[in-house]
């Protein structure tokens, strides 16, 4: 792109574009790779992006120019209020305009720190860094200590969290790429921010689920995904579709310990509280998010809302693989339940636990 930019009379010259890039991006190879990524993803619109440092963003006025978005190459890891930054960007942009941001992801940070010193030093250093800048910000007792020490600078952010924050603030993800040890994310404004004041950030999370009579309620679970994962359901579905068991394929939102928790239902233990509150019954269809719920046919949506969801779903009794089989399994259960609730739940309860104990059925 550096040598092949096509410039119209209404666009900035190639010299001006490269001057802006040189002012905010270090390293010739990184500049070329970043420009190529922008061109490959956005085509001619890449030449109409305006380059900004973090503190100059307020000077972006698209209504007075032919610009189609902005690039801010100040790492969001060192932005004290990340969502406020994204919300401010959203407020000064028009729908359809692009926001390009950069983050050092959790994995990129780990790679950099472990390669920074010899192993006897790098591993203790990385462990201390992880505790201070990853664990402390997430725990209420230590959060104030973290911000007092760091001022919110250079925090650890996963790729999932960066993408989810953008979506929560009114953007859709267009693409992302690792360049020069950092990840550059291209997003597009599609609506106003959600202004979510209670994102799922702690160890115990609340998830919105569709329940009896179509009412949305909070399900309590142990976190198995990175923060802000819930905002990426539609993105992950479009990217990977559904796999075996009706779960998203290649879902990078799940943490390493999350897979272990799910395998042994540790993540679902707080749902016992929902059962005690009578949001759930013992046996019943899974409580679904609104996004997942609306993937179901109308007929099964209506059948689902006529009874409470349950702790032990018919999935463990029938062990369906794809979405079609899951729909058939749930329909069969719901039809049987409507005729004889007690007998049906007893039958499915013992069949489910037989499969769990003898067939090794596990949550995915």
Superfamily of domain 14-105+157-189: TusA-like domain (3.30.110.40)
When pLDDT is cut at 50, 70 and 90, the band that residue 254 belongs to is confident
Per-residue pLDDT at 81 exceeds 90:
no
Assign 244 a pLDDT band (cuts: 50, 70, 90).
low
How many helices and strands, by DSSP H and E, does the chain display? 15, 9
For residue 5, the model assigns a pLDDT of 30
The DSSP call for residue 285 is P
Domain spans of the chain? Answer: 14-105+157-189, 108-149, 204-358
Q: Is 165 exposed, middle or buried (0-12, 13-18, 19+ CB in 10 A)?
A: buried
Spatial separation of the C-alpha atoms in residues 197 and 27, rounded to whole Å: 38
Residue pLDDT, tens place only, 4-39: 333 233 344 444 555 555 555 666 678 889 999 999
CA distance 271 to 267: 9
3-state helix, strand, coil in the chain (%, to 5): 50, 15, 30
> Cα separation of 47 and 67, whole Å?
9
Residues 6+ apart with CB under 8 A from 230: 164, 200, 207, 208, 289
Q: Which helix (H) or strand (E) holds 122?
A: helix 119-130
* Predicted pLDDT of residue 166: 96
Q: What are phi and psi of 216, to 5 degrees?
A: -85, 130
Backbone angles phi, psi at 296, to 5 degrees: -80, 150
pLDDT (average), residues 304-323: 93
Closest Cα to residue 211, out of 117, 305, 333? 305
CB 220 within 8 A of CB 208: no
Burial degree of 319 (CB within 10 A; 0-12, 13-18, 19+): middle
Strand partners, 205: 221
Tokens of 364: 């995915």
Cα–Cα distance measured from residue 186 to residue 70, given in angstroms and rounded to the nearest whole number = 10
């Amino acid at each position: 792109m550096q040598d092949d930019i096509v410039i119209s009379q209404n666009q900035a010259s190639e010299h001006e574009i490269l001057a802006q890039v040189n002012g905010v991006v270090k390293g010739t190879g990184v500049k070329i790779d970043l420009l190529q990524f922008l061109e490959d993803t956005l085509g001619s619109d890449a030449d109409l992006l305006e380059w900004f440092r973090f503190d100059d963003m307020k000077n972006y006025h698209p209504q007075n120019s032919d610009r189609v978005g902005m690039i801010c190459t100040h790492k969001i890891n060192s932005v004290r209020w990340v969502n406020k930054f994204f919300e401010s960007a959203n407020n000064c942009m028009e729908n359809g305009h692009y926001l390009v941001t950069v983050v050092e992801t959790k994995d990129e940070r780990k790679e950099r720190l472990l390669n920074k010193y010899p192993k006897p030093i790098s591993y203790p250093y990385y462990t201390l860094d992880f505790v201070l800048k990853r664990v402390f910000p997430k725990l209420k007792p230590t959060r104030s200590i973290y911000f007092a020490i760091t001022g919110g600078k250079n925090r650890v952010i996963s790729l999932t969290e960066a993408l989810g924050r953008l979506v929560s603030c009114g953007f859709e993800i267009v693409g992302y790429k690792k360049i020069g040890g950092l990840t550059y994310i291209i997003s597009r404004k599609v609506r106003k921010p959600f202004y979510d004041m209670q994102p799922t950030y702690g160890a115990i999370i609340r998830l919105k689920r569709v329940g009896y009579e179509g009412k949305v309620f909070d399900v309590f679970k142990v976190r198995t995904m990175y923060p802000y994962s819930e905002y990426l359901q539609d993105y992950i579905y479009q990217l990977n579709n559904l796999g075996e068991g009706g779960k998203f394929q290649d879902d990078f939102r799940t943490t390493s310990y999350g897979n272990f928790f799910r395998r042994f239902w540790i993540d679902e233990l707080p749902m016992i509280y929902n059962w005690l509150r009578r949001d759930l019954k013992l046996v019943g269809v899974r409580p679904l998010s609104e996004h997942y719920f609306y993937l179901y046919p109308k007929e099964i949506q209506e059948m689902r809302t006529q009874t409470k969801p349950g702790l032990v779903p018919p999935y463990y009794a029938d062990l369906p693989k794809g979405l079609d089989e899951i729909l058939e399994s749930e329909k069969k259960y719901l039809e049987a339940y409507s005729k004889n609730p007690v007998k049906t739940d007893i039958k499915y309860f013992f069949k489910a636990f037989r499969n769990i104990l003898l067939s090794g059925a596990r949550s995915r």
